[in-house]
Amino acid sequence: MNIEANRPPLAVRVLRGLWRTVDGARRLTVNLLFVLVVALVAALLLERGPRVPNKAALVLAPVGTLVEQLSGDPGDRAWGRLTGEPVRETLVRDLVAGIRAAQDDERIAVLLLDLDELSGAGLSKLRDLRTALQEFRASGKKVIAAADGYEQAAYYLAAQSDEIHLSPQGFVLIPGFGRFRPYYKEGLDRAEIDVHVFRVGEYKSAVEPYLRDGPSPEAREADLEVLGDLWRAWLEDVGAGRGRSPDEIAAWVAGMDERVAAAGGDAARAALDAGLVDRLSNRDEVRARLIELVGEDVESHDFHRIALADYLEAEDLTEPPSPRGDAVGVVLARGTILDGAQPSGKVGGDTTSALVRRAREDDSVKAIVLRVDSPGGSAFASELIRRELALARAAGKPVVVSMGSVAASGGYWISTASDEIWADATTITGSIGIFGMIPTFDKPLARYLGVHVEGTGTTWLSGALRVDRALEPRLGGMVQDLIDRGYEEFLARVGEARKMTRDEVDAIARGRVWSGADAKGIGLVDELGGLDAAIAAAGRRARLGERPRVRWIEKERTWKERLAGRLLEGAAALAPGAVAAAPHDPFSTAGRLRAALAELEALAELDDPRGLLAHCFCEVDG
């Protein structure tokens, strides 16, 4: 037998050998990756976790904006940390939980507020933290604040401490509160773009940038009244923290330029001379002061410390507790109200309705607290949520609304199906009104490009919704009718909830915003107080006592999502990309441009199926 004749050609044998080599390498790679993943999972499961040192400083270093609910899902946030682009948000609930746990923890002697990375916060959130800090100090423990420079939100928190340390090269910048927006009328006229606006209410200023080059007298009047209430509350809280009168703090702002000039351009010295800070301290001097208070770690030569995230993990406070037994269920409604399912940080008509329904159908949830921190959005989505809350009340479960920094327009709409409404004195609320907009740019197409959009249709509505054609007058009339009806529906919802006549509601509606303090005076709010007060009120209504168990009603993650998130978090903690991204600079050219475009982006995502928007562009600078 000729064995050689039966052997495959040399080229085939070479290719087969090459394939076996490649296939073996592939298998080896997959196996190694599998082993690596298993090892990482085992390490995460077996890790002992952080330990709290004896006589330590708990370090609170909030990053970015203080929020009621983090944006996106945990996997996205962990991936952002891994790639060096973290979401710059800090959960107020975590800060409060850490402060309150440390208050009675004998191992925690001092609280350090490291405020360099805090970029902003609604005043109601700062006031919640102020209450927690006051309770911590009342226990006899010190609060130390330190930063290279203090802007308004950071200084508010620093003012609640026992010692404020400022870098000798630093500053204290307190601009007060303002509301400034880009106005597009002149630019739209130049481009010959028509924006057809439909609204009810002379105070519904959300649409004014497309109609004017500055705010109307009505908008200025309403804004100034609300901003004045916020400013007075800020001055009172800061003055009380520093042992100064509000007028003394206001005088610093009014004469800051003169004080800095008198100090030879030394802004830090000017702040010290004015009593706004206690010490001018470099970072090493702040460390030395903390070592003096809590002792020195022999290995790191730093003060005994534990970061908030580690402390929450060590105390098993990283996940909201889900106590067994009868409880008050808290549902968060943070962000713009949009149709359909939405991620955390936005209020989805379907998503939030499902959470309310889950609380209604849970026999152990005896009352519901809806925490609203929203400027509104889609009227349709708002009504879906309101309807679910009404069904919960019809089922015999009390509903109490707790308003955060903003609960306006659609945020107020969803609040009407409640037994009580609680707001902070500085909450921005009201803005009871409806609007819609249809832009058309047929004129610039014809003038600059010579493009004309014409054709034939079977009805007057054929082609009437195209933005590259002039608005059909009959369509405009019909849209205004829809807007008028939507406004009447809004008035009816408020009137039924607040036991007012249609005209009584209309007198305080028409798109006008109010502070929480003023809203209570005109009957839009029942009581002034924070989330804890609202939970206590719900507990009383459900006969659960003043301090009921609290269950946070949030989207539940599957075990796969939890595992994936844990793996990403572990990888993020080990990866170089986990270093926080550079802080956003609102004063840079890019920052200003980003702010100018943010409102247009927010408007573009509003998607009410009827085109009816119950939205308030009432964010405040400061």
Strand segments (E) across 350-490 = 365-374, 376-378, 399-408, 420-423, 428-430, 435-440
- Pick the closest to residue 386 from 378, 516, 555 (CA basis): 378
CA 121 to chain centre: 8
Contact predicate 493/503, CB 8 Å? no
Find the helix or strand (DSSP H, E) in which 220 lies. helix 217-242
The DSSP call for residue 9 is P
The three-class DSSP label of residue 198 is strand
Q: What distance in Å separates the CA atoms of residue 332 and residue 429, rounded to the nearest whole number?
A: 17
User: What end-to-end distance do the CA atoms of the chain give, in Å?
Assistant: 94
Q: For residues 241 and 133, what is the distance between their CA atoms, to the nearest angstrom? A: 11
Strands 56-60 and 108-114: parallel
Mark 522-537 as b/e (b = at least 16 C-beta within 10 Å): eebbbebbbbbebbbb
Residue 403 and residue 423: Cα distance in Å, rounded?
5
Label residue 366 exposed, middle or buried (CB < 10 Å: 0-12, 13-18, 19+).
buried
Question: Which residues in 180-213 are b (16+ Cβ under 10 Å) and which e?
Answer: ebebbeeebeeeebbbbbbbbbebbbbbbbbbee
Cα radius of gyration rounded to whole Å, the chain: 29
- Other beta carbons within 10 angstroms of residue 484's beta carbon come to 14
DSSP secondary structure letters along 16-66? HHHHHHHHHHHHHHHHHHHHHHHHHHHHHHH-----PPSSEEEEE---EEE
Tokens of 94: 């975590």
In the block, which residue shows the tokens 């203090």?
150
- From the candidates 124, 161, 204, 397, which is the catalytic residue? 204
Q: What is the C-alpha separation between 227 and 237, in angstroms, rounded? A: 15
**499 assigned to active site:** no
For residue 341, the Cα-to-chain-centroid distance in whole angstroms is 18
Residues 409, 418, 431, 515: which is the catalytic one?
Answer: 409
Provide the H-helix boundaries in 450-558. Answer: 473-498, 502-508, 516-521, 531-541
Q: Are 423 and 533 in contact (CB under 8 A)?
A: no
Separation CA 463–CA 244 (nearest Å): 65
Q: What is the CA 391 to chain-centroid distance, rounded?
A: 28
- The 3-state DSSP class for residue 190 equals helix
What is the C-alpha separation between 73 and 344, in angstroms, rounded? 6
Planar angle of CA 553, 559, 560, nearest 5 degrees:
120
Active site residue 204: yes
Identify the sign of the CA torsion 326, 327, 328, 332.
Answer: negative
DSSP β-bridge partners for residue 528: 423
Query: Which residues are part of the catalytic machinery?
Result: 204, 409
